Structures are given as C-alpha cells and as structure tokens.
Amino acid sequence: MKLALTLLILLGALWIIFVAGLYLAMLQPPEKSRRIVAKLSTRARKFLAVKPLWLLARKGSLAIGDTAPDFELPALERDGTVRLSEEYRAKPVVLAFGSYT
C-alpha cells in the first residue's frame, strides 16, 4: 500500500513537472512553442491538457476599451508598410480578426 501511494505521488509530481514545462514553453513566441507542441502525440496532448494551457498562455492582458498595441505590417495594395498608430492618427481604424478562406 505504501509503495503504491509513493508511486502515485511520484507520477503526480512528474505530471506536474511536464505540464509546468509545457506551459513555460507556450509562453515563448508562437513559432517556438508551436514546434514543441507539434512533437507531442494526440494522446499526450490530451493527457497534458495542451488546449487549456495554450489558451491560458496566450490570453493576453487587453480588456474591452484598451488601446490596441502598435504594430507594423506589409501593405497589400502598395509598397512599404502600414503602421497602426499612423493609420489611427489619420482616420478611425477597425481591426477585424478571423479567417476569410
């Protein structure tokens, strides 16, 4: 009985260590964390609770009404780039995120 309890505690501690390590990996830039998660099997992803960890690691800190962080992207219709702060000074800006495929 004592051996089984010790083994259970050891397995629980190992699970916590793996989950904590995975969470720390998910706090890295998306390109880096994506490579790490891609190496996990489907069964391991479920066992390690990857989806809730990913949502927690990527939730951000913006709230409704906060100013969007400034960013710069390549322009689609002209050469150069488009910076959010410059566009916002010139006219109102709406950011719409989603898939249009």
Instruction: Read off the pLDDT of residues 21-58 as tens digits, 9 standing for 90 and up.
Output: 889 988 888 888 888 888 888 888 888 888 888 888 88
40 burial class (0-12, 13-18, 19+ CB within 10 angstroms)?
A: middle
pTM of the complete model: 0.58
d(CA 16, CA 1): 23
Angle, alpha carbons 24-29-34 (nearest 5°) = 80
Q: What is the pLDDT of residue 101?
A: 65
In a domain, 77, yes or no: no
In a domain, 33, yes or no: yes
In a domain, 72, yes or no: no
In a domain, 30, yes or no: yes
Across residues 15-19, what is the average pLDDT? 90
In a domain, 66, yes or no: no
> What average pLDDT is seen over the chain?
87
Regarding predicted confidence, which is higher, 87 or 9? 9
Domain that holds residue 40: 2-57
- Residue spans of alpha helices (H) in 27-70: 30-38, 42-47, 50-57
Q: Count the domains in the chain.
A: 1
In a domain, 23, yes or no: yes
